[in-house]
Amino acid sequence: MTQDYRKDQEAVSRLTSEQYAVTQEAATEPAFRNEFWNNKDAGIYVDIVSGEPLFASVNKYDSRSGWPSFTVPIDPANIVEKKDRSWGMTRVEVRSAHGDSHLGHLFDDGPAEAGGLRYCINSAALRFIPLADLEKDGYGEYRQLFEAEEATR
């Protein structure tokens, strides 16, 4: 069954002021003072507005930036990259493809052994689905991302 991910106005109306500012107005939350920057639990991160799967904990690492950082998205089709010329510099903005939420930015200073990319993402744009809840919450197909990790325990 393919999920229909889209911008849900009801979900937008339930956002906190910080979540709204980040996802709808391209704001940035404070470093080291956000929900997931130091989260080490196994699971996936989905768009808080559309629910589309974005990143997995198996690709999360400590970039020492104060924001959740990932080397790759779960499905590149759920990520849109746009040139961002704000703040007097050129960066690559990362948005969700179906929810059109501002997520954060993409940098080329990630771990070289993992491809060299750093998806620097605002916690306020994300909802975390713990590994134990993947099936219950409709994301069971992503359990496979954790099979190799579970086998090494």
3-state DSSP assignment of residue 87: helix
Q: Are strands 102-107 and 91-96 parallel, antiparallel or unpaired?
A: antiparallel
Query: Is the distance from CB of 78 to CB of 53 less than 8 angstroms?
Result: yes
Catalytic residue check, 7: no
Spot the catalytic one: 58, 106, 117, 120. Answer: 120
User: Rounded to 10 degrees, what is the CA torsion of 140, 141, 146, 151?
Assistant: 90
Residues in the chain: 153
For 78, phi then psi, to 5°, come to: -95, 5
What residues act catalytically? Answer: 120
